[in-house]
């Protein structure tokens, strides 16, 4: 996961806005954090963009042969510890989807799971910072997601803690 930072004057700068829009169109964006900084005539928007390197969308149907988004190998883009949590979140999502009778992507997308695995939110507010995860999904699934994130072995994002194996029954 990579970060890009932008500062766009509040009074507008078409060139900077086009640079930002070009960047957003050419990368797989996980989240955009934005903050308005009020400084009178020098007020601006500060933006921090989290994105996946090498996972740029190139239009409808790019890369998967089915008309969807290009596939991302999360094992390559996430650290080992983050990928272990991502895998646990996928297992939880599958069970939640079966329980609710919906497709897995209707619970949370892979991009959202990757964002959760990388950020390891500790609260519903932190969970809602993930792109596309609003009040409804946080209210419905938030407690369960936070419980998975809080499981032993998921605490160290550097991958140095061994993740306990799941029960095979």
Residue 87 CA: distances (Å) to CA of 14, 20, 158: 42, 32, 16
Domains defined for the chain, CATH in brackets:
2-52 (no CATH), 74-149 (1.10.150.80)
Structure tokens given for 102: 């919906």
Whether the full predicted model's pTM is greater than 0.95, yes or no, is no
pLDDT tens, N- to C-terminus, the chain (169 residues): 688 888 888 887 778 888 888 888 888 888 888 888 999 888 988 888 888 776 555 444 444 444 456 678 888 888 888 999 999 999 999 999 999 998 988 999 999 999 999 999 999 999 999 988 889 999 999 999 999 999 876 654 443 333 333 343 3
Output phi, psi for 3, to 5 deg. Answer: -125, 145
């Amino acid at each position: 996961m990579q970060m890009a930072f932008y500062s766009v004057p509040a009074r507008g700068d078409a060139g900077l806005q086009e640079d930002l829009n070009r960047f957003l169109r050419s990368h797989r964006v996980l989240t955009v954090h934005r903050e308005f900084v009020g400084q009178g005539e020098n007020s601006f928007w500060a933006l921090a963009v989290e994105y996946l390197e090498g996972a740029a969308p190139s239009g409808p149907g790019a890369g998967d042969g089915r008309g969807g988004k290009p596939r991302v190998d999360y094992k390559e883009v996430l650290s080992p510890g983050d990928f272990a949590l991502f895998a646990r979140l996928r297992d939880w999502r599958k069970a939640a989807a079966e329980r609710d009778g919906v497709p897995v992507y209707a619970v949370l997308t892979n991009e959202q799971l990757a964002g959760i695995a990388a950020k390891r939110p500790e609260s519903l507010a932190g969970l809602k910072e993930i792109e596309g995860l609003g009040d409804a999904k946080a209210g419905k699934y938030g407690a369960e997601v936070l419980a998975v994130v809080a499981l032993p072995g998921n605490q160290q994002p550097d991958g140095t803690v061994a993740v306990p194996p799941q029960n095979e029954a």
